[in-house]
Amino acid sequence: MSTRAMYSFTDANDPPETHHVYKHHDGYPTGAAKALAKAAALAWPAPRFEADEYAASFIAANKDSPGGLRTMLSGAFTDVAPGDIEFYYTVTAPAGALKHPQVEAFTVDDVGTPAGSARIFKGNLPAFIAWTASTKNKHG
């Protein structure tokens, strides 16, 4: 069975722009870390971060089959997330020069509703990758 996830890429524009991507498989944290690392290799280097460009890099780096990845409608995560996701990730670059984008990872409750989400990680991308590789990570 596939582990479905949604990724939201948000920049520091005023107002901020958010672009959502649904990934049909490998959405557990270890898979997400691999997918985000592949996207980082194609995206503009930090401190430049534009949500639409990073989302495009994520898709370009990770689309390997029909239907495996798709963009989602604009709007709040709670309004656009599919009901079958198990994890939700945000990727941001708050105002100011950052060396790496910031990642937050959330579990989503057993019926796929964002209201039942619980944050399991918050930090920069290298820290997320290290966290997923650690034996303390029990989410994939």
What is the distance between the alpha carbons of residues 127 and 10, in angstroms, rounded to a whole number?
19
Phi, psi of 23 (to 5 degrees): -120, 125
Q: pLDDT digit string (tens) for 14-72?
A: 888 899 999 999 999 999 999 999 999 999 887 788 999 999 999 999 998 888 898 98
CA nearest to 88, candidates 126, 32, 129: 32
What is the pTM (predicted TM-score) of this model? 0.89
Q: What is the mean pLDDT of the chain?
A: 86
Tokens of 14: 């005023």
